[in-house]
């Protein structure tokens, strides 16, 4: 498709994808696509506009015309996300939005509506694409594909810590159950299920620190994208 270097990082929620993708994109000076945010935005917008989360046609139409903007702060802080002009950065990260996103993400016409928008993120000098089907469906030609995994327990602990730091109250056990449930839904759906691309490099992050994972991914990038 293009000769723009693309690194895809796929994996289940809580595998560390978001943090790792951002850190690697910053280290390489590349653009970043947080594809999960797009599904979250569709879910959030659908809830605002009272669209049913199983109304495929209405959701796909909404996804196609999604009015959103990502602002990268100059101080390297959290990316600010706007939906229809409103800052929704915080609402986007709640468990309610995540669960709704998982439902709309299982609808094929919604995925199709977001495909071109995702591909348009590929711009020089390169793109780090974070999601579930980046290596299998959206950027099958990517030169380096990484699939991050971690045990459900470890992922629940990480999520718990993250949400607590943001002042959002949740129970660890409830989170574990939700994560396991979402995994099943994401990996068993018929369209773009969560699974590693045949040519993906698997990295189990259960016993690794963020720095260790960033180091490993950067090392893989050096090998794959060496001139
Ligand atoms: O990564 P995340 O938790 O922000 O993703 C939210 C939901 O969207 C999650 O349930 C899986 C889904 N998703 C997807 O189906 N495909 C993607 N490329 C990214 C996310």
Q: Does the residue 29 lie in any domain?
A: yes
Predicted pLDDT of residue 2: 63
Mean pLDDT of 63-89: 91
Q: Which residue has the higher pLDDT, 189 or 143?
A: 143
**How many structural domains is the chain composed of?**
1
Mean pLDDT of 195-223: 94
Predicted pLDDT of residue 79: 86
Question: What range defines the domain where residue 102 resides?
Answer: 6-225
For ligand 1, say whether the CB of 118 is within 6 Å of any of its atoms: no
Which atom of ligand 1 is found nearest the CA of 98? 6
- Single pTM value for the model: 0.90
Instruction: Tell me the CA–centroid distance for residue 198 and ligand 1, in Å.
Output: 20
For residue 80, report the phi and psi dihedrals to the nearest 5 degrees: -95, 130
Q: How confident is the model at residue 164 (pLDDT cuts 50, 70, 90)?
A: confident
Instruction: Tell me the CA–centroid distance for residue 75 and ligand 1, in Å.
Output: 27
Residues 6 or more apart whose Cβ sits within 8 Å of residue 30: 5, 7, 24, 125, 126, 127, 128
Q: Does the residue 163 lie in any domain?
A: yes
Share of the chain above pLDDT 90, in %: 72
For ligand 1, say whether the CB of 186 is within 6 Å of any of its atoms: yes
CA 28 vs CA 11, 31, 48, 105: distances in Å = 21, 9, 37, 29
CA 133 vs CA 139, 198, 203, 223: distances in Å = 8, 12, 16, 23
Instruction: Tell me the CA–centroid distance for residue 132 and ligand 1, in Å.
Output: 6
Instruction: Tell me the CA–centroid distance for residue 42 and ligand 1, in Å.
Output: 11
CATH number at residue 118: 3.40.50.300
Q: Taking 90 as the threshold, does the pLDDT of residue 13 lie above it? A: no
- Rounded to the nearest integer, the mean pLDDT of the chain is 92
Find the range with the poorest average confidence among 72-76, 116-120, 203-207. 72-76
Q: Which residue has the higher pLDDT, 165 or 133?
A: 133
Q: How confident is the model at residue 227 (pLDDT cuts 50, 70, 90)?
A: low
Predicted pLDDT of residue 1: 52
Is the Cβ–Cβ distance between 102 and 186 less than 8 Å?
A: yes
Predicted pLDDT of residue 165: 86
In angstroms, the CA 160 to CA 24 distance is 23
Q: Does the residue 175 lie in any domain?
A: yes
Mean pLDDT of 189-196: 83
In angstroms, the CA 137 to CA 128 distance is 15
The DSSP string of 72-127 is --TTS-PPEEEETTEE-HHHHTSHHHHHHHHHHTT-HHHHHHHHHHHHTT--TT-E
Q: Does the residue 1 lie in any domain?
A: no
């Amino acid at each position: 498709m293009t000769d723009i270097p693309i690194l895809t990082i796929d994996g289940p929620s809580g595998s560390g994808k978001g943090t790792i993708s951002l850190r690697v994109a910053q280290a390489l000076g590349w653009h970043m696509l947080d594809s999960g945010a797009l599904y979250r935005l569709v879910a959030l917008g659908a809830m605002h506009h009272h669209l049913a989360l199983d109304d495929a046609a209405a959701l796909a139409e909404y996804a196609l015309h999604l009015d959103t903007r990502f602002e990268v702060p100059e101080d390297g802080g959290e990316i600010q996300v706007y939906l229809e002009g409103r800052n929704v950065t915080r609402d986007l990260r709640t468990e309610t939005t995540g669960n709704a996103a998982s439902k709309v993400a299982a609808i094929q016409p919604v995925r199709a509506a977001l495909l071109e928008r995702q591909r348009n993120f590929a711009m020089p000098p390169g793109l780090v694409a974070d999601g579930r089907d980046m290596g299998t469906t959206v950027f099958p030609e990517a030169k380096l594909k990484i699939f991050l995994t971690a045990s459900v327990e470890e992922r629940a602990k990480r999520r718990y810590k993250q949400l607590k730091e943001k002042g959002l109250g949740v129970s660890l056990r409830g989170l574990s159950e939700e994560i396991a449930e979402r995994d099943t839904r994401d990996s068993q759906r018929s369209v773009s299920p969560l699974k590693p691309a045949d040519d993906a490099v698997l990295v189990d992050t259960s016993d690794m620190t963020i720095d260790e994972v960033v180091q490993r991914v950067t090392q893989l990038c050096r090998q794959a994208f060496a001139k």
